[in-house]
Structure 1
Amino acid sequence: MAAIDGNELAVHNNRESCWLAINGTVWDATSFLSQHPGGESLILNLAGKDATEKYGTFHSPGLVEETLGLDARKGTVDVQTIPKMDEKPSPQQHERKSPPLSSMVSVNDFELVAEKTMTPTAWAYVSSGADDEFSMRENVRVWQKVFLRGRVLRKVGTVDCSTNILGYKSALPFYTSPVGLAKLVHPSGECAIASAAGKEGIIQVVNTVSSMPIEAIMDARTSDTQPVFWQLYADKDLLKSEVLVRRVERAGVSAIWLTVDSPVVGNRERDERSKSVADIEEKIEAVVETPQGVVGIAKANTGFINANMDWSSIEWLRGITKLPLVIKGIQTVEDAVAAFDHGIDGIVLSNHGGRSQDTAQPPLVTLLEINHYAPHIIGKGMQIFVDGGIRRGTDIIKALALGATAVGIGRPVLYSMSGGYGEYGVRRMIQILRNELQTNMAFIGAKDVQAIERGMVNTRRLERLMTGSVKL
């Protein structure tokens, strides 16, 4: 490849000719500007510069070649020759030492560490919800509206927490939800989750917008038989999604989870306020003339999502893969029944962690509505999963008692990786939930997951939140 002087690179800093350096290689991103999911401003702000650090925060090293193609590679550059641009100094942050991992005794402890140790940008992205964040808060609070009804004098000297998820054995009735951009929190990204999940015997669901390639994540497993599921955001160009599905199939994933609750990106105000990720000098006229010019992390990475999917799209997906299919983002009993009628292998009751539509009802309420209006779909082949606000082993028990097969753990996974804990933090978090689950299963008189049943929960306080009008 040709050697390019840093001064030459610096000249290509505009919309007509946009070059940038990543890991010592110069790429021409001019034709990609209009296609970038986060808008062209994010790339233009790095035009003519060394973009390695910013790029590496969100993406795996090989993605640039995969996205732009080898024809866009212009040559190599010695980054020391690139002229230093006048930049606003970033606010100095006091480095805060994380407390000992052994001092983490609840899942909530990790959130406190995350808020103190994550960068402001990462914290805003991970912790934010939509609008006033009502649904995000209610997702957590609603679990407290269900009481446990423990049975006594049952043999619980040994408690077995294992279960079966889509035909795969899991040591625990929960999985890691498809959290994205994990490199924002720890350099190992989703690979740390894969390793931790394997060592603790649970299943990882990997996000389409992961910061690590699926091949690297699969290599990080503890064995070739460790199951990994893939969450799919359908692309506006369905051919791209088909190519991606075939790629993850070759990599060895065991199921496809299609997300349907976010046809558009929610209005996550805290994430939007973190636009400093672009470090861009504001031109006030551009704010109103191109209001989407600079966006938060969520919108910057999910602009490709197809908003025109419908139930007929299920047949399209079944036509390109024979893997088990889960629909993630069911929010009503009506749609749960529709999924059952379409022969779906599993559904996830979810409002996207309160990150899409604010005031959307908590998934636990949807599960209760299924119990009340459509009990015929529970335990009849289609597995039901729940995510959103689960922070305790008792929360897991309540979901299982109402017919869920397992639950998803989302934000706590990223929180537990923060502060430098990485894989070990995720393992500690899983172990905490395991201990709480075992303890409380003994208290309610359940020696195994199958023994957890409807009579072990009192839902009267929650029932008033159910809808009174259902047409099935």
Structure 2
Amino acid sequence: MTVLLPLCLSVEINREGLPYTGLNTTDWETGVLPPLTDMWELNDFQIAAKNVLAARWYASYRTAALDQVTYQANLNIWKKIRLNGFTFRDVSNVNLNTTILGYNFTVPFFIAPAAYAGHTNESAELSLARSAGKLGALYVPSIESSKTLQQIADAGFSNQTMFHQEYVWSNRTLLIEQLRQIEAAGYKAIFLTVDNTGVNGIRVQAMRQTGQLDSDSGHSASFTLEALAEIRNLTTLPIVPKGIKTAADAKTCLDLGFPAIYVSNHGGRVLDGVPTSVEILLDIRRQYPEVFEQMEVYADGGVRSANHVIALLALGAKAVGLGRSPIWANIYGEEGVDRMLMLLQVELQTSLQLMGEADVQNVVGNTSYINTKQVEVDYFGVN
């Protein structure tokens, strides 16, 4: 059930710096769900969510830490990247299929963990699971979901593969029990979020709505390499550390034998001022290129179009996560998430064809498809 604002005729919505692509909101009514047929790109769903959600719940998803420098950088980094389009190539048969930890998926993007989807729709995580399953995409529910992990697993299709997210709780009993439940429910891997150490980020925008500080996360503040090794012994499922923000930590995970890492700054919601995933991937490639050769790498952060997916793939990501966009689309429930995923899929196929590439796997780690010189000058200070 969507939480609505008081009814008001006609509305113009602050786009908060999102690119304008012709979305006309003047016929919308505040607090009323706009027509789904108005949605033609991922940013449209955020505008629709801002129109219909109560301010507290919109802020809870949109918020970022402190001055939101990293949040804005996530959205703006793409302006510094150019895609190379090659001609004279056969692109009549496009392949978007990929594998993640050996499991087959139809697209190289996935629905990333995002907490409490029930604030957008009563279907909560169930619609996200079903939409991902219909497309053949990966869904990774948050451990802080509105529905139980068993309910989410049951909502999926019999042949659907889902992973699950977990936090490093200071309550060891809780951690062990959740890992047991994740295994028992049939999830195939764990994205272990490692960038929340003891406290959440200071998310001012959300605090203005709640009137409360939100810093005590219940996460362990003594999470060392020894503690990480111990968690690996608590489950038979493969663990992917999520929240890698430095090349040094990527190399550490490789040395420890993890099958994959997840490069992410948590949507700018934790430590403000950290690099974007684009910059982190460039730094890993610069210092430890063997990371991409010997383990899988996933990434997210400000992904709002297929061109962003392509850029991260070309930088070495095997798969790309979507955080806020599926949540915004979920104001329409399953039908909205279906449309959001379909639009991104069509964008991806179209952009690949226009770049002269028929197989998305040929893009992964292939920097000939992108020009990142401007990012490198800004980040590394070199020409």
Fold conserved (TM > 0.5)? yes
Amino acid at match of 1:229: F
Which residue in the other structure is 2:19 paired with?
none
CA–CA separation in structure 2 for the residues paired with 1:467 and 1:209: 37
SS at match of 1:113: helix
Which residue in the other structure is 1:423 paired with?
334
1:442 aligns with 2:356: no
Which residue in the other structure is 2:235 paired with?
321
1:154 aligns with 2:89: yes
Which residue in the other structure is 2:223 paired with?
309
1:466 aligns with 2:379: yes
1:390 aligns with 2:310: no
The Cα of 1:93 is off from its aligned counterpart by: 5.3
Gaps of 5+ in 2: 9-29
2:7–2:32 CA contact under 8 A, matched in 1 = no
1:379 aligns with 2:314: no
The Cα of 1:379 is off from its aligned counterpart by: 2.9
The Cα of 1:314 is off from its aligned counterpart by: 2.3
CA–CA separation in structure 2 for the residues paired with 1:415 and 1:409: 11
Match of 2:265 among 351, 355, 369: 351
SS at match of 1:143: helix
Amino acid at match of 2:189: A
**Residue deviations 1:43-102 (CA, integer Å, cap 9, x gap):** xxxxxxxxxx9xxx9xxxxxxxxxxxxxxxxxxxxxxxxxxxxxxxxx955453222212
CA–CA separation in structure 2 for the residues paired with 1:428 and 1:150: 27
SS at match of 1:326: strand
Match of 2:244 among 330, 335, 353: 330
The Cα of 1:467 is off from its aligned counterpart by: 4.4
Please give the residue correspondences for 1:8-157 in structure 2 after superposition, counting only pairs within 5 Å. 92=6, 94=8, 96-157=31-92
**Residue deviations 1:322-376 (CA, integer Å, cap 9, x gap):** 2111000000111111111111111111110000111111111000111222111
Which residue in the other structure is 1:215 paired with?
150
CA–CA separation in structure 2 for the residues paired with 1:144 and 1:228: 33
1:369–1:466 CA contact under 8 A, matched in 2 = no
**Residue deviations 1:173-226 (CA, integer Å, cap 9, x gap):** 0111100010011111111100111011101111111111011001111x2221
CA–CA separation in structure 2 for the residues paired with 1:308 and 1:465: 34
Percent of paired sites with the same residue: 34
SS at match of 2:163: strand
Which residue in the other structure is 1:232 paired with?
166
2:282–2:315 CA contact under 8 A, matched in 1 = yes
The Cα of 1:466 is off from its aligned counterpart by: 3.2
CA–CA separation in structure 2 for the residues paired with 1:261 and 1:467: 23
Amino acid at match of 1:313: A
Amino acid at match of 1:199: K
Which residue in the other structure is 1:273 paired with?
208
> Segments of 4+ in structure 1 off by > 6 A?
none
Gaps of 5+ in 1: 1-52, 58-90, 277-293
Bigger radius of gyration, 1 or 2? 1
Which residue in the other structure is 1:370 paired with?
284
TM-score by length of 2: 0.90
CA–CA separation in structure 2 for the residues paired with 1:97 and 1:317: 46
Which residue in the other structure is 2:21 paired with?
none
Which residue in the other structure is 1:412 paired with?
325
1:368–1:466 CA contact under 8 A, matched in 2 = no
Amino acid at match of 1:355: R
CA–CA separation in structure 1 for the residues paired with 2:381 and 2:171: 39
Match of 2:120 among 181, 185, 193: 185
Aligned length: 358
The Cα of 1:457 is off from its aligned counterpart by: 0.7
